[in-house]
Copies of this chain bind each other. A is one copy, B any other.
């Protein structure tokens, strides 16, 4: 069992879903902690089903082919529980943004600032999206029966916190960048 297997089990524990739903979940709510494309999701779901950890019910879609809505079996729940009890593997991240920051002094000040502003904009957008999802989740809370909402809620809160932190850091970075540039020109002036 690889990482994605457990992630899908956890996703289905929150609420029964189709492969298509899970793919969207990865693109939106889960985007800041796990990435997966539909082409890896479908085969993995098939494997889990063969292993008896999940089952699916065919459900009509309003538009498009029939949906395979998967849910955990008792066996699946047991496996998931055992995995959740273990300490997590250290996270694997590949984020180009901080790498580019390392060489920010290769760009003219103006362009460097523009890039940081862009990064800030993206973070703000994400933050707003998570906030909207949190609001929506609170509104739906009453009529949601079978759903386990605490985990997703905590993760949304974390997503918002991360993005807000990023926005603050972008502002600091812009300030420091401009300050260091001023320092450089002042030295050049004094030195000349």
Which positions in A face B, CB cutoff 8 Å? 3, 6-7, 9-11, 13-14, 30, 32-35, 77, 80-81, 83-85, 87-89, 91-107, 111, 115, 118-119, 148, 150-152, 154-155, 157-158, 161-162, 165, 168-169, 172-173, 176-177, 180
- List the B residue with the shortest CB-CB distance to A98: B33
Partner of A96 from B3, B106, B151, B165 at Cβ < 8 Å: B3
Determine the chain B residues whose CB is within 8 A of the CB of A94 once the complex forms. Answer: 3, 33-35, 91-93
Determine the chain B residues whose CB is within 8 A of the CB of A154 once the complex forms. Answer: 101, 104, 169, 173, 176
Partner of A7 from B77, B81, B99 at Cβ < 8 Å: B99
Please measure, in the bound complex, the distance between the C-alpha atom of A173 and the C-alpha atom of B176, giving whole angstroms.
33
Task: Tell me whether B152 and A102 are in contact (CB under 8 A).
Answer: yes
Partner of A157 from B3, B6, B172 at Cβ < 8 Å: B172
Task: Report if A118-B81 is in contact (Cβ < 8 Å); known contacts: A98-B155, A106-B13.
Answer: no
Partner of A10 from B80, B85, B102 at Cβ < 8 Å: B102
Task: Tell me whether A102 and B151 are in contact (CB under 8 A).
Answer: yes
29 contacts between A and B (CB under 8 A): A6-B96, A7-B99, A10-B100, A10-B102, A14-B102, A14-B103, A33-B94, A33-B97, A84-B100, A84-B103, A84-B106, A85-B107, A85-B115, A87-B115, A88-B96, A88-B97, A88-B99, A88-B100, A91-B93, A91-B94, A98-B155, A101-B151, A102-B148, A102-B155, A103-B148, A104-B150, A105-B148, A154-B169, A161-B165
Task: Tell me whether B107 and A34 are in contact (CB under 8 A).
Answer: no
Please measure, in the bound complex, the distance between the C-alpha atom of A105 and the C-alpha atom of B152, giving whole angstroms.
11
